Structure 1
Amino acid sequence: MTTFAGCQAVLTGPDFLVPDREWCERRIPEGIGRPAADFFYSSMLATNHDAHDRLRRLVVRELSARRVAALRARVEELGAELLDAFAEAAAGGAVADFHELVALPLPVAMVGELIGVPRADQQGLSLLGDDAVRLLEPVRTPEDWARADRGVGGLRTYFAGLLHERRSRPADDLASALAVGPLTDSAGLTDDELVDVLVLMFAAGFETTAAMLGMAVHALLSHPEQWALLRRRPELVPAALEESLRWDAPVPMTERITARATEVAGVPLPAGASVIAVMAAAHRDPEVFADPDAFTIGRPDGRVLSFSAGAHYCVGTALARLEGVVLLRQLLHRLPRLTPSGPPTRRTGDGLRGFTRLPLALAG
């Protein structure tokens, strides 16, 4: 499905479900018995109805609009710290990697602190997260499975230890809320399920946000007239972030399975059919977006499906948008002479978009 209306119908309609464990066992036999598949097809990403709701409500409370708004000062503090380090690395005309120095460590630090991961452990866990998200590849190679197993195994071991520690020494963080919170008891989750909630929150909390930050900066700097407009009109920062999510989003597609015989965009579908919602195409739908291939930060038609929609709408959306808006505003004030310095390096695979290297410099 490639139209905006079609993708929205697939993501929000009651006739469409995410592929779950039962589907995995029928359609992906090579995943049976693998730690990565066991994790993924038990997570919020791959469960439906009551099984999904009991997991989701544990973290929705911790990522409420009020809780996220209270994190603004910390996002600003971390953003300033990282941009200072970038400016130092780029001093004297040097080229510095924006992805490594800013776009990646900001969301890693934020989700790490939210969960309760010490700063010293965050970088190592982010490498495991990179391996774990190979699960999002639409076609997984043996190497993808091996990396995903390694990443999930390492993250599970770490967060099992963190939950054990928080039960004896609770703190003001998500790990403690899950370890000793009354909501966890009422949901009846096992320790293994609690561990997997933290694994998912950590990996999902930085991968797509880091990609979003890098791609937003790249889109603006590769369209200098739009960067100049934003410098003149900083009130357009939220709109600029939304336009970058439309123009080049971290998650280009997602899969749904028909729960029963149905129809979408005039196409009849049997029960059990696999439907791919290609949000990257939907965001270029000329029926919705005027001049859809143009990157235009002031466009009035700013709707996006970048955070999905319906029951599986991303619970971390508010935090991701906060990080994006804060960082872009800080760039305007602190590094207005930022400029591209060589081609960026895209991450491999089709499941997620983003950069592994984004070389930038400060113009003289």
Structure 2
Amino acid sequence: MLTSPDFLVPDREWCERRIPDGAGRPAADFFYSSMLGTNHGAHDRLRRLVVRELSARRVAALGLRVEETVAGLLDDFAEAAADGADADFQDLVALPLPVAVVGDLIGVPAADRLRLRQLGDDAGRLLEPVRSPEDWARADRGVSGLREYFTALLRERRARPADDLASALARGQRTDGAGESDGAGLTEGELVDILVLVFAAGFETTAGLLGQAVHALLTQPGQWALLRRRPDLVPAALEESLRWDGPVPMTERIAARPTELGGLPLPAGASVITVMAAAHRDPEWFADPDAFVVGRVDGRVLGFSAGVHYCVGAALARLEGAVLLRAMLRRFPELRAAGPPGRRTGDGLRGFTRLPLTV
């Protein structure tokens, strides 16, 4: 379903037809016109610029900064866990790490990141498969606040450019003498919404991945011990974590034409929830699917989706996860869980609100 041309993502036309209450809502306007809610040419022109700016070179260049950020956050974690105390890994490390990394990437000053993190968490309610009035209210508040902030940041970067994504996007909108734009003719609103999406998606899902990977490994002591002996398996451990308990369990697709799925006929326009978390436990693809096994060679992990909507930030998320796990294995080889974690509410995103650990 994720790769078939028979299925599209819900877009603005679908929203107007199926969610009349979305009319005039900032959250609906953002979601169904961003990369998440566009198809074909509209999606390509938005994605092309982001893929260019999140190139392998730019991500690799962030490596040293990620290592420095990880080291500082683990210092804070070690201090909080001194003398046998419990420390909340999610609050001290898993959440602030991707916020700092995506903040550095975009050019968000450190002093602004906590407020934007809260707005991004509100905007994340858009990923719920069924949105309550409260979800819509929070999403509207989050999107409006983020749009206001990034509009001002683009204006600032045009006056004082820096080496960051906001400056690159601001430059990309400029036209040459022939009126051609190397930013694919994106409007100011489209540039702002790219920054909103990169920021919100860049920390919400990665924070979930980091916390869930550490939790999975600590609930499987043999696998944590394996990584201590074989740190070269860290990338494989991240992939197994995405399969076993990934941050994005499902996504929605719309049948573009009459088709069939698993023997079930679907009319054009049918809405289908694709549950990747279920695919990841399919015994026809994964041997002993309920077991957490680092280094699996069977099946295909869909934690970053697939097809044209494959996550543009996958390489950055993997980099953050690999740097963090390797540093934790070196510094805290005896790391242990210290009580039950708290999970976030909702169905659209999985993650922890609290993950107490002891060193």
What is the TM-score normalised by the length of structure 2? 0.96
Aligned-pair CA distance for 1:266: 2.8
Taking the aligned partners of 2:283 and 2:126, their CA distance within structure 1 comes to 32
Q: Is the 8 A contact 1:17 1:48 kept in 2?
A: yes
- Higher RCO structure (Cα 8 Å, ≥6 apart): 1
What pairs with 1:243-282 in structure 2 (closer than 5 Å)? 243-282=240-279
Taking the aligned partners of 2:60 and 2:357, their CA distance within structure 1 comes to 30
Aligned-pair CA distance for 1:298: 2.5
Match of 1:168 in 2: 159
Which of 47, 63, 66 is the matching residue for 1:75?
66
Aligned-pair CA distance for 1:270: 1.2
Determine helix, strand or coil for the equivalent of 1:326. helix
Q: Is the 8 A contact 1:58 1:183 kept in 2?
A: no
Match of 1:90 in 2: 81
Determine helix, strand or coil for the equivalent of 2:320. helix
Runs of 5+ consecutive residues of structure 2 not aligned to the other structure: 176-180
Q: Is the 8 A contact 1:242 1:302 kept in 2?
A: no
Taking the aligned partners of 2:21 and 2:280, their CA distance within structure 1 comes to 34
Q: Is the 8 A contact 2:123 2:142 kept in 1?
A: yes
1:135 corresponds to which letter in structure 2?
L
Match of 2:115 in 1: 124
Deviation per CA, 1:96-126: give whole Å up to 9, x if none.
Answer: 1101110001100111110010111111101
Q: Is the 8 A contact 2:173 2:186 kept in 1?
A: no
Match of 1:146 in 2: 137
Deviation per CA, 1:44-71: give whole Å up to 9, x if none.
Answer: 0000001111111111011111221121
What pairs with 1:4-15 in structure 2 (closer than 5 Å)? 10-15=1-6
Aligned-pair CA distance for 1:183: 7.9
Match of 1:209 in 2: 206
Q: Is the 8 A contact 1:44 1:55 kept in 2?
A: yes
Match of 2:194 in 1: 197
Aligned-pair CA distance for 1:303: 2.4
Q: Aligned-pair RMSD on alpha carbons?
A: 1.1
Aligned-pair CA distance for 1:338: 1.1
Q: Is the 8 A contact 2:258 2:266 kept in 1?
A: yes
Change (3 A) 1:30 1:289: same
Aligned-pair CA distance for 1:267: 2.4
What pairs with 1:1-364 in structure 2 (closer than 5 Å)? 10-181=1-172, 185-186=181-182, 187-301=184-298, 303-362=300-359
Aligned-pair CA distance for 1:302: 5.7
Deviation per CA, 1:252-274: give whole Å up to 9, x if none.
Answer: 01010011111223322111111
Taking the aligned partners of 2:316 and 2:295, their CA distance within structure 1 comes to 23
Sequence identity (%):
79
